[in-house]
Structures are given as structure tokens and as C-alpha cells.
Amino acid sequence: MDYKLELIAVPVSDVDRAKAFYTEQAGFDADHDHTVNENLRFVQLTPPGSACSIAIGQGVVDTEPGSVKGLQLVVQSADAARAELAGRGVDVSEVQEFPWGKFVYLADPDGNAWALQELVPR
């Protein structure tokens, strides 16, 4: 039996602002944007090359906007990812190097926190 993690709900306060951040600045693909009714809007966004997407929207999740911490994306080059995101206007940290990899940190407009990790060659 395979168990595939394919969708993570990320709570946001302003769906349009968050969608613009993730698509225009972070470079995610907009897969779906459906308003089911006045209480439910579902927006699915996927990082390039990822099998896992995020869902934002109205009525998608009842946790506090900005409360998701520790989301992590693996990238080939932390330096290149940082340069690309900074070039798109994302407030990103400097590259931090640890024995287990290089990391860059950022947050969406609500404060949901992300890390980009460049894995150490094995």
C-alpha cells in the first residue's frame, strides 16, 4: 500500500493576495480556483516539479492564517533558488549552510513559514 502526500492546506487571510504571492512571486502553478458557494473557495497551487500541492481558500481549513510553520521544499541549488525568489520580490533569508544541507527561509504574506533545502551530496 502506497501513501502519497499530495495536498497540504495552508491557512490564509486574503485568498487573492496569497494566490498572487504563490503564483507571481514564488512561481507555483495555479492548478484550480473554484468557488463552490459563498462559503467555500478552493485554490490548489503546486511548486514546479512537486508531486505535492497546497490548498488555500475560504472554508478550506479553520486554522489561524499564518499558523503553518516548517513547510519545506527541496531544491537543487539554495543559492539559485534564493536569487530567483529575491528577483521576484520575495523577502528571503541569506543562504545558511549546515552539515545536512543549505537552507533559505521565507514566509508568505500571512506568515506561513517555508524552508528551501539543498541536500548534501551523498
Q: What is the pLDDT of residues 31-87, one digit of tens each?
A: 999 999 999 999 999 999 999 999 999 999 999 999 999 999 999 999 999 999 999
CA atoms 5, 6, 9, 12: torsion sign? positive
Q: Which domains are assigned to the chain?
A: 7-119 (3.10.180.10)
Q: What is the mean pLDDT of residues 18-34?
A: 98
pLDDT at residue 122 is higher than 80: no
Q: What is the pLDDT of residue 109?
A: 98
- Computed over every residue of the chain, the mean pLDDT equals 97
